[in-house]
Every structure is written in C-alpha cells, then in structure tokens.
Amino acid sequence: MLRQNRYEWHKQAVVLAALVAISAAHSVGAQQRTVLRATVVDSLARPIAEATVRASSLVMSAVTDSAGRFSLSLEPRDRLSLIIAKVGFESDTVHVGFAGRMLVDTTIVIHQSAVVLSTVRVESTVPARYRGIARYEDFYQRRRMAVGGSFFDRAQLDKMGSMMHALNTVPGVRATEFNGRVGARFARCPSGKIAVIIDGLYLPGMGMGDIRSN
C-alpha cells in the first residue's frame, strides 16, 4: 500500500512538472511577441478610417477602423517601418521604435494631398463702378437669380431715355410722365399703393410721382 501511494505521488508529480513546463513554454512564447497599437489622424487630429497600414519588411498589413485605430502583433524587434496609405492623403513611411518594450501605443499623423485645380476664370456681372458696394451687389445678385421682377440698372435707363419707357416694358404696367414726374398704373395693384426702394433704402412716404426720371 505504501509503495503504491509513493508510485501514485511520483506519477502526479511528473504530470504536474510537465504541465508547468508546457505553461512556461507558452508564457515564453507569448512574451516573445510585441504589439503595436496606433491611431492614424490628419493634421487636425481627426481620425482617418480605412487607411492601409503595411509593414515594409513583412508580409503583413492592417486597415484602420472608424476611429482610425489598428494593431499589429509582431516578432520581437527594436524598430519597424510602416507605410501608411489612404486615398486623398500623401503616402507616408513611419518609423516606430520599440526599444525593448513589448507594447507600443502611439499616434501617427498623415497629411492630405494637395489638389491641383484647373484654371478657373471668374467674371463678375457687376459693373466695375458698382463692385464692392453692398446695395448694388445685392441688386445684381437678385437680377442674376431671376426669381421674379424686372431689374433696370443705370446704363439701361440711360439707353431707354427715361424711367417711363423702362416701366412700360414691364407687363401689367402703364406709365406716363409729366414735368419730369412719372406716374404709373399697375394691373395687379389698382390702388396704386406701392413700395418704393431706392439704392436699398425703403422710402415709405414716397410714390411713383415723387421719383424723378433722372
């Protein structure tokens, strides 16, 4: 009975030693791996998703998630070169140093590519004499949008000869002029009560008869 107990104890000890050895081997193997975790951002610190990360010396790559993060599990090394690529950004090679550390957590910044645009010629419809003056700029902007109404600038009025002739080109308006004063009837406004706005300034007490042709 004593010999059998000693045999059982010896067998259990051997099994235990084997398990400890296996566990130690796994631990050593796990410690031999190094881990790189990083976040890829742009120059404004905004995370960049779906950027490709490739180790230049290894057949290994990763893609950043929606938060710009990625991780790589590597064999022990002191330094690693990574190629970061993303459409619309300049490809960049980043060197990461481990210096004996098993884990590196860092941030990588890449910059947007400069976009070369074709030559664009911008022409203003505002006459030079009126450019930069807000009330005139607004007039030409509303006329260009063509959302309704009739618009006459100074050059057009001079060409037509008088405000009366200009108003008579507007559908529904019948204008007359007497002693330099213009009177008008509006088909859609029988009362003749209209709003007069000159150079962006609303003049509530003025009617068509108060506006001089010049």
Percentage of residues of the chain with pLDDT beyond 70:
79
**What is the rounded CA–CA span in Å between residue 168 and residue 117?**
47
For the segment 113-161, what is each residue's pLDDT rounded down to a tens digit?
877 777 777 666 777 777 888 778 888 888 888 777 788 887 888 888 8
The overall average pLDDT reported for the chain is: 77
pTM of the model: 0.41
Question: Over 80: is that where the pLDDT of 89 sits?
Answer: yes
pLDDT, greater one: 50 or 115: 50
- Token pair, residue 11, equals 């067998």
Kindly report, residue by residue over 162-193, the tens digit of the pLDDT.
878 888 888 888 888 887 778 888 888 777 77
- CB-based contact 77:43 (threshold 8 Å): no
